[in-house]
Structure 1
């Protein structure tokens, strides 16, 4: 089966029936994101200002979750931005299914969340592909944070 170009895929809100698939996709991408279980994913979706999937012919190609300022979220990375920025969107995670990587899925999901507020996120310092991707999208490094023995590069992308 040939995958569809990302511009022909459908973006929609995360639904309860998606949760098992999202956890599986997330756990296959732990080199770039933290782990998720049902409780943590439910909490993220409840707190989110954007919780979206990109669907390709019934399959989930990827998903994105962003949080607003003032969210109830226990994360040192989120707290780092909360103490430095006033009005922004925190990109908690964007994850692409292994079967859909290098097909424009991440770019399409970013288009959905980039708008009139700065977007803040962190990237593990050893994730060269993600570092290059974000710099190419106009994200600028604004600091570093040590977390669980890993250095996180903190990025902000100015609003459109």
Structure 2
């Protein structure tokens, strides 16, 4: 891990809600009840913390989750077994330190150990998110589909990465 930072289970909801709200255009808005529901059924919910507190977090669900997200359901309809990254957010002041990569590498190892061969996620096409596109491509994700959601207000690219399994 990066010096002065550690990956831990996600417990402190206040900072997560604040960071998520600041990036709701890229992820989606969550209130405390929705965040708690995600964490309660998560395959993995982790945070990177450092000297200044929360630096990044990741929430991922497996195929058995009960989640109404159209993006999650797209994968659920097509793949019998997978881990879906619902959201990963890094605080702007902490970007470029490899924290999101560390969260993903931790997820890859845990998913592989649990017998999951696929990691799934989506990235916005409209509105565009070129930083996320480049990041996911560098991690080996490839596009497997796309969709217009929320009555066409958003278009997403569906990405998949095979684990080492």
TM-score normalized with structure 1 length:
0.91
Query: Paired residue for 1:127, among 114, 123, 129?
Result: 129
Query: Paired residue for 1:74, among 68, 72, 83?
Result: 68
Query: Paired residue for 1:44, among 30, 33, 38?
Result: 38
Is 1:26–1:35's contact at 8 Å kept on the other side of the alignment? Answer: yes
Structure 1 residues 16-59: Cα deviation after superposition (integer angstroms, max 9, x where no partner): xx101000011111232111110110000001010101111251
Partner of 2:2: 6
Does residue 136 (structure 1) correspond to residue 138 (structure 2)? The answer is yes
CA distance in 2, matches of 1:34, 1:7: 30
TM-score normalized with structure 2 length:
0.89
Query: Paired residue for 1:155, among 147, 156, 159?
Result: 159
RMSD: 1.3
Is 1:7–1:108's contact at 8 Å kept on the other side of the alignment? Answer: no
CA distance in 1, matches of 2:107, 2:91: 19
- Following TM superposition, by how much is the alpha carbon of 1:97 offset from its aligned partner in structure 2, in angstroms? 1.2
CA distance in 2, matches of 1:101, 1:30: 17
Is the deviation greater in 110-119 or in 37-46? 110-119
Q: Give 5+ residue unaligned stretches, structure 1.
A: none
Give the 5 Å matches for 1:111-122.
111-115=105-109, 116=112, 117-122=117-122
CA distance in 2, matches of 1:54, 1:46: 19
Q: How many residues align structurally? A: 154
Q: Give 5+ residue unaligned stretches, structure 2.
A: none
- Following TM superposition, by how much is the alpha carbon of 1:72 offset from its aligned partner in structure 2, in angstroms? 1.0
Is 2:57–2:89's contact at 8 Å kept on the other side of the alignment? Answer: yes
